Structure 1
């Protein structure tokens, strides 16, 4: 009788790769919270460093409170734009690699639970994205104006239009129309939407992600509740693009076009265009 080889010498069956698991809902919400927290905390620290570097903050007991000195620094032309660009750049540099490292198998997967960081099969979705990006602020603006009942609709980006000199406008436009949309689409229409679709149907997942997107932007809209339907409508359109295209890039493009129109509108309103 032939002796069997010891277990250590027997060929082992090849391990089958486990299917890629969708992101967890708590992980998705945690990343979104991290993104906005980074902007808040890093924005304050960067503003303080800028105030020190420009001499607005003086180490002198007779000087004004630091908060007043930072506000005085941010009233200087170009300073708010520089702060926004640095803050968005830092948040993107942290969040995007973190998502890529946490879900490498999902990064290039076209359909949920994948994050859709691939080109769409049909390039016509890029044309549709431009149309959505152009139509969303026009329709959303009309809806917001109706709900506002004559109240002035303001946004943090509005102050940038009147404080950004000509030489900084192009850089600001590039950052606001590229980095912001990229990170937010990865988080909301990538990670969050995939996490929600693990638990609920597509329609409910799109609706919940749209509401969370709208609520998360209320601070930048100075807590004006009548901006919520506009933001939720935009989020639903972006989710539709992401799911139909099998790619996140059309949603990123539409989001960028939407932001571009907003920035140009505020530049025009401030008389700087």
Structure 2
């Protein structure tokens, strides 16, 4: 009886550190669309939950609809609900992304989500884009809007809230929001598009979706969408050019930071 001395070679798995990066996209178009819808659905769900908690903590008579409405619409209370809602929705969505697509997270290839370390020069490129974009996009929006005023729901809330609550909202708008949106639009969505279309088509399509989903927050002001689409194009290009999602996150975060300066200027 003879024994084969050939060593046993086990196939690489997605969980193995020696496994090659997956060649297929992290998700298809349907999966990418589903996780984007999931994020905004979680905002609705957690918004209702925290509104109920606020009513309970304030000891409001739920039968008095007018009193409840007036109290919950108080700027600081409403802004606190927004902060809690965005934190909860972002945490759940990011958790889902990590759980569902862990093997693709740190891959910088077209199929991956791009959470890999970039070169410092690429981060600087993203920050520079984030400084330029608000001025270019703002001028474009004002040109298209004409005499119409352009505001966002979050900005209107911040304008009526105390400085302390604005400070509390700032890291959500500058850090948390851009992180989850980059994971969704320049991660899952862009990856799924690049598996089917050219780079240019994928960048354009992901940017258009990014602009369109913000319409409700803009009170359906279509003339603000080109600005958001421009930001989406820049961030998607950075993701493709650098092989990492962090430069696009830097651009997105800087853009939001500059847009948030008006909250504190108005407070003085």
Q: Structure 2 matches for 1:63-78, cutoff 5 A? A: 63=64, 65=65, 68-78=66-76
**Counterpart selection for 1:40 from 41, 44, 52:** 44
Q: 2:57 pairs with 37, 53, 65, which one?
A: 53
Mapped to 2, the partners of 1:243 and 1:91 lie a distance apart of 27
**CA-CA distance at 1:16 after TM superposition:** 4.1
Q: Within 2, Cα distance between the matches of 1:233 and 1:102? A: 29
- Paired position in structure 1 for 2:115: 117
**More moved, 36-45 vs 17-26:** 17-26
Q: Tell me how far apart the structure 1 counterparts of residues 47 and 237 of structure 2 sit (CA, whole Å).
A: 32
Q: Which aligned runs of 4 or more in structure 1 are off by greater than 3 angstroms?
A: 2-5, 10-13, 16-19, 68-71
**Residue equivalent to 1:182:** 179
Size of the alignment, in residue pairs? 259
Aligned equivalent of 2:153, options 152, 156, 160: 156
Is residue 2:212 matched to residue 1:215? yes
CA apart distance, 1:15: 2.2
User: Which stretch of structure 1 is more off in the superposition, 37-46 or 14-23?
Assistant: 14-23
User: 1:131 aligned to 128, 131, 134, which one?
Assistant: 128
- TM-score between the two structures when normalised by the length of structure 2: 0.90
Cα distance, 1:263 vs structure 2: 1.6
Of 16-25 and 96-105, more deviation after overlay is shown by: 16-25
Distance 2:202 2:69 in 1: 41
Alignment partner, residue 101 of structure 1: 99
Deviation at 1:136, TM superposition (A): 1.0
Relative to structure 1, the CA distance from residue 244 to residue 3 in structure 2 (aligned partners, 3 Å threshold; closer, same or farther) is closer
For structure 2, the residue ranges without an aligned partner over 5 or more in a row are: 15-20
- The answer for the alignment partner of 1:272 in structure 2 is 267
| Alpha-carbon shift at residue 256 of structure 1 (Å) | 1.0
**SS of residue in 2 equivalent to 1:117:** coil
- Structure number, greater radius of gyration: 1
Instruction: Give the unaligned 5+ runs of structure 1.
Output: none
Structure 1 counterpart of 2:139: 142
